[in-house]
Amino acid sequence: MSKKDENTEERQIVGFVGVGLDNEDEHKRITRTEEFLLLGGSEETHERMQDAAIRFRESLDKRGKQLKETSVEEALALLHKAMNK
């Protein structure tokens, strides 16, 4: 495969990483789903990341899709919507 062919391949999102940086209680918070790896954060921040991950998954379910079947643009739009509810 030439470099030109590689550049024309369709982009795909395989997952998201969420990192919370406001943890002061030294508790290690990690949540893993099919689409997300969520690390750190205060209890409140980690919970907000979890809520967004759940809303994102629900949006995919409503469309009858998996993340790998979703275009980059659609996945980012769903993530933005999930984070702003």
**pLDDT exceeds 90 at position 78:** yes
Residue type, 27: H
Q: Tens digits of per-residue pLDDT, 15-24?
A: 999 999 999 9
Number of H helices, E strands in the chain: 3, 3
- The answer on pLDDT for 59 being more than 60 is yes
Q: Which residues pair with 37 in a beta bridge?
A: 17, 32
Q: Which two tokens stand for residue 60?
A: 């995919």
Separation of CA 24 from chain center: 24
pTM assigned to the model: 0.84
Greater confidence, 4 or 47? Answer: 47
